[in-house]
Every structure is written in C-alpha cells, then in structure tokens.
Amino acid sequence: MVHPEVARVADDIASMETRGAATIADAVADALATQAREGDAADPEAFRAGMRTAARRLYDTRPTAVSLPNALRYVLNGMEGGSVEALRRSVVERATAFREDLDRAQSRLGEIGAGRLRDGDTVMTHCHSTDAMAVMEAAVADGKSLSAVVKETRPRNQGHITAEVLADLGVDVTLVVDNAAHRYLDEVDHVLVGADAVAADGSVVNKVGTSGLAVSARDRGVPIVVAAGTIKLDPATLTGRAVEIEQRDESEVIDPETRADIGDIAVANPAFDVTPPRHVDAIVTERGQFPPESVVTLMRELYGEADEPWREPSQ
C-alpha cells in the first residue's frame, strides 16, 4: 500500500541521508505527492487510508524535527474531494504549495536575518542549518564580507557541510573542534544556529551542543540568533507536551572495537538538546524576528491545535 518511493524517502530520513529539518519537510511533502499520484487506491476510502499509512511511515522515522509532522499536517489536512481523482489532485496541489512556501519562507527569513549582520562580522555556527545558511547567503548577497568559525559538530560532523557551503559563498571559514568554541567566542560577533523545533515557551531544540554553546556565548556577551522558519514551531507544546529528543545509535559515537577495548561502559547519543529562552536573543522567522518568549503568539495564530491526521479516525 505504501509506495516504494515513500519507503525510500523514509529510510533516507532515518539514516540521515536526507537530513536537516527543512529538507526533511520538503522530502515528506514530495513523498506524499508521489503516494497520491502513483498509489493504486481503487476508491476514496482506500485512497485516504493509503495516504495515512504513507504518512505514518514517514512520521515514524525521526521524532524531534517538528517540521516533519507539520508538513504531514499541511498536506493531509488539505486532502479533499469525493473521487480518487479529486483527492489525488488536492494532495498534489497541496504538497506543491507547501514546498513552494517553504522555499519562499527560507529566502525571506534569510533577508530578515541578514539585517543583523554587519560588514566584517564573524559568525560562529553549530551543525548545518539551511535556515542559518540562508541568512549568511543573503548577507553576502548584500555585499557584506563575513568570516565564520564553524564547529565540526560531533558525532556526525555536519559542520563540514556548513564549512563547504560557506566557503563556496566566499566566507572566510575556520573549522574548529567543538571543544574549542569557548576559546574562539572572544573573536565572534554572533552565534547563528538553526532549530529542529521551537517550543511554546521559546525553548529551542537543536543539535546537541547548542545549549552549551549558548551558555558560553552568554558568558562572553555574544548574541545567540536562531534561524528557524515557522515550520519549526511545535504546536503540540502549546498544551505542555515536551519535545522528544532522539537517541541515535552508539556506533555514531564510538566503533565497537574501541568500545570493547575500553571495557564495560554505556554509550549515549542524544541528537538534540534544549536551549532555554533566556539564552536566546532572537528567533528569526520569515514573519520577522522575535524574542523567544513571544513566539507563542505566532504559534497559536499559525497552527492552533496540533492534530494527528496520519492516525486512523478511531485512534
């Protein structure tokens, strides 16, 4: 019932072949369109059931980036029509609109965030965020000359992607190990990170290491800017639900042989952590930049209640 392309997209998200909150949202919207276009449902009921199954398969891949359920909500809640053909059309249109909006939102966010950066500034980054890169790109397009101190971001070293993207933009890049961040904060003007989810109280869930970096940045008086399109706002947190932090395989941290040599130890690999709003200066979205405590207003306006349209109606 689930189209093989949906299964492939889901596997790629789980293995992080496809990664980054916005990229994941784009991929799941596209996968739902494929399910709608090429699925074999014979009647409207079967079509809706097939879409829900495909959405659940995508939903079950990674638990933290809220852009994933927000993308599923957007597409499934726009599914309407009395025939398979009409339903199919509505899903494809909705998925296309979602992906176009996502693109536009990221460019707009970039322009807004670029206003914070001055010619000659140095920015410290953590992990790889396309929203944060949009800010850097827009600032460079404005003619600003920028430098970056890029944290490698263990265990998966997504900082290498950031280093490559920024070098291609013409930014002067210095790659450092994560432990060197505090040492370099004296030389930077901004810490710029992305987000996988933003909670109703303004807490920012991002790649593990962000919260420690934010504490260090506070200590050194460096502002912490979070680039996060509104797709990162988690409406489930409006009722107090905590964002689930993904625990990934220990083999990302240490290879089995080295682990065996060390002896009887446990290995933990949380992918994300939570930075409290008091350590964040601004959340830059495509709707403007906000002090973290005020994103709740935007969250209510855009999402209201967090439904789960991928569940069976009786569930």
Which position among 3, 19, 73, 279 is part of the footprint of ligand RI2 (CB under 6 A)?
19
Tell which residue, 107, 85, 88, 84, has the closest CA to residue 96.
88
Task: Pick between residue 53 and residue 269 the one whose CB is nearest to ligand RI2.
Answer: 269
Q: How many CB atoms lie within 10 A of CB 163?
A: 21
Residue 21 is a binding residue for ligand RI2 (CB under 6 A): yes
Max alpha carbon distance in the chain (Å)?
Answer: 64
Q: Is 264 a catalytic residue?
A: no
Which position among 34, 70, 130, 230 is part of the footprint of ligand RI2 (CB under 6 A)?
130
Q: Which two tokens stand for residue 288?
A: 């403007």
Least distance (Å) from ligand RI2 to the CB of residue 87?
29
Task: Pick between residue 163 and residue 193 the one whose CB is nearest to ligand RI2.
Answer: 193
In 3-state terms, what secondary structure has residue 67?
Answer: helix
Residue 213 is a binding residue for ligand RI2 (CB under 6 A): no
In contact, 234 and 198? CB cutoff 8 Å: yes
Tell which residue, 211, 120, 134, has the closest CA to residue 169.
134
Q: Which of 131, 196, 234, 281 is flagged as catalytic?
A: 196
Count the residues in the chain.
Answer: 315
Q: Which stretch binds ligand RI2 (CB under 6 A): 17-25, 28-36, 260-268, 294-302?
A: 17-25
Tell me the β-bridge partners of 190: 123
Residue 224 is a binding residue for ligand RI2 (CB under 6 A): no
Q: Is 196 a catalytic residue?
A: yes
The sheet with strand 197-198 has its strands ordered as 197-198, 204-207, 272-275
Residue 207 is a binding residue for ligand RI2 (CB under 6 A): yes
Q: Tell me how far apart the alpha carbons of residues 312 and 315 are, in angstroms, rounded to a whole number.
A: 5
Binding to ligand RI2 by CB under 6 A, coded x per residue (else -) over 258-287, reads: -------------x----------------
Residue 131 is a binding residue for ligand RI2 (CB under 6 A): yes
Residues at the contact surface with ligand RI2, assessed by CB under 6 A: 19-23, 127, 129-131, 158, 193-196, 206-207, 271
